[in-house]
Amino acid sequence: MKIREVRITPIAFPDPPLLNAAGVHQPWALRTIVEVDCGDGLVGLGETYGDAPHLKLMRAVAPHLAGHDVFATTKIQRAVQALVGEKDAPDLHGLTGRSSPEKTVSRVFSPIEVACLDLQGQATGRPVHDLLGGAVRDAVPFSAYLFYKYAAHPGQDEDPFGEALTPVQIVAQAGRMIQQYGFGSIKLKGGVFPPDEELAAVRALREAFPDHPLRIDPNAVWGVETSQRIAAEADGLLEYLEDPTPGRAGMAEVAKSASMPLATNMCVVAFDHLPEAIELGSVQVILSDHHYWGGLRQSARLAGICQTWGIGLSMHSNSHLGISLAAMTHLGAAVPELSYAADTHTPWQLGVDVVETPLRFVDGAVPVPTGPGLGVTLDRDALARMHEDYLRCGVTERDDTTYMRRTFDPEFRNTSPRW
C-alpha cells in the first residue's frame, strides 16, 4: 500500500476563555487535519497542532511522502527526520516544555504515523490497538479537566460552563462535567491565582467529591520553596502534583519532600530528557502525549521505559478533536502501564467535531472501538466549514499571553516561576 498523496488542512474551532499560566485561550483553537491517501478510497487520518510554524513544516514535508509504503513507518520517520533536519518550530505558550529539533521531528511525524496506522488497520480489518499489541482494557478512563475561566470572550454569549474564578464556581464546573460525562477523577488547571487560593479550590473539590482522585497543574509557575510548602499542605489530598516548578533539577528538589508523586508534561518531553530525570528523581509520573512523543508506537515505547524505571504513566492533552481522541483511546487501550485516567479537552469543545460520529464517554471512559483502523470517519462538510473558519478567524498561532494582555489584563506577565 503506497502513499499517493498527503493532504494537510488547517482548521479552527471555537474555544472558551480558559485560563492558564500563559494567559487565556483565544476564541479559536487551531488544529491541522492530515489525510494520507492511498487511492481506491483508502484514506488514513491524523490530527496535529495548527500553529503557523508547525503547519509550514507539515506542508513542506507532505509532498515528499508519496510513494512510501504505509506499513514502513520507520522509513517514513527517517524521511521526515531528513526533511525537517535541524529546523525547530517552538510554540508560543510553552506549556508542553521546551521545543527542540528532536521534538519538532516527532511532532511532524506523529500525525502521519497515526494516519498510517489507521490505514494499516483498515487494510487488515483490525483496530489500531491491535497493531500496538492488542487491547488490555475495554474502555480508557479520562479525568474531568477543570479550568478557571471567564464567562465569555468579549462580545460573545456566555458558554454553558459560565464563569469559574472561585472555589465555589470550580466545584460547580466539576459537578456539571461529572454529571455529563461520569468522570471518576479530577484535574484542576492551576497557575492562574496565588497558590493558596488554588489549594482552597482543591480542598473545596475534596469536600464536594470525597472519592474522586484529585490533581492540580500550575504549569511550573511556583518556585521550589512555594512548591514544597504547597505539597506539604496538600498531603493526602492529591493523587499527583503536576509540574509545580520549572526544570528537572527544581522538580527533583520538590520531590525530595513531597509525599505525593510529581508528574510532568513539561520537564520530560523527549527521550533524551529521561536519563537525567531518572538520575535526579525529578518525576514519578510522566504524561505521555503522542502528538509530541512521535506517535503511538513511540508513546508505547515511553510506557515501557516508565515501567522499567518504576515511573507512573498518565496522558496529556491540549485542545483537540475526535481524531486525536480516537488515537489517544487506542493507545490507552494497548498500554498496560497507563496507571492514571488520561486528560482530555473534549468537554470544552462543546460538541464541535471534525469526525462524523465522535467516540463517546460512558461513565468517564471511552469504550475502545473494535472496528478497523481508528474507527472514526472524517466529516467532510465539517472539515470544509472549519477550514473556512481558519481562513477568516485571523488566528494563526496559539498565543494565550498576547490575547490575555490585549483583552482582559494589560498588566499580565508570563513569568516563571511567578509565586
Catalytic residues: 189, 316
Which does residue 104 touch among Mg ion, ligand GKR, none (CB within 5 to 8 A, set by kind)?
A: none
**Contacted entry of Mg ion, ligand GKR, none for residue 288, CB cut-off 5 to 8 Å set by kind:** none
Nearest residue to ligand GKR on Cβ basis? 95
Residues 288 and 313: beta-carbon distance below 8 Å = yes
3-state secondary structure 165-226: CCHHHHHHHHHHHHHHHCCCCEEEECCCCCHHHHHHHHHHHHHHCCCCCEEEECCCCCCHHH
Please name which of 84, 82, 91, 214 lies closest in space to residue 146, comparing C-alpha atoms: 214
C-alpha to C-alpha distance for 388 and 337, rounded to whole angstroms? 40
> Cα–Cα distance between 21 and 365 in angstroms, integer?
28
Least separation in angstroms between residue 266's CB and ligand GKR is 7
For the bound state, the minimum distance from the C-beta of residue 215 to Mg ion, rounded and expressed in Å, comes to 9
- Closer Cβ to ligand GKR, 243 or 353, answer by number: 243
Question: CB of 189 within 8 A of CB of 20?
Answer: yes
- In angstroms, give the least distance from the CB of 391 to ligand GKR: 23
Residues lying near ligand GKR in the complex (CB under 6 A) are found at 18, 20, 95-96, 189, 217, 219, 265, 316-319
Q: Which is nearer to ligand GKR, 143 or 228 (CB)?
A: 143
Residue 122's binding partner among Mg ion, ligand GKR, none (Cβ under 5 to 8 angstroms by kind) is none
Q: How far is the CB of 345 from ligand GKR (least distance, A)?
A: 6
If the CB atoms of residues 22 and 131 are measured against ligand GKR, the closer one turns out to be 22
188 binding partner (options ligand GKR, Mg ion, none; Cβ < 5 to 8 Å by kind): none
- Coil/strand/helix, residue 363: coil
List phi, psi (to 5°) of 10: -75, 140
- Cβ burial of 235 (10 Å; 0-12, 13-18, 19+) is exposed
Neighbours of 207 (CB within 10 A): 10
Nearest residue (CB) to Mg ion, 10 versus 218? 218
Which option in ligand GKR, Mg ion, none does residue 20 bind, with CB closer than 5 to 8 A by kind? ligand GKR
* CB closer to ligand GKR out of 189 and 273: 189
Residues 188-247 close enough to bind Mg ion by CB under 5 A: 217, 242
Side chain identity at residue 229, one-letter code: R
Residues 236-275 that bind Mg ion (CB under 5 A): 242, 265
Positions touching Mg ion (CB under 5 A) are 217, 242, 265
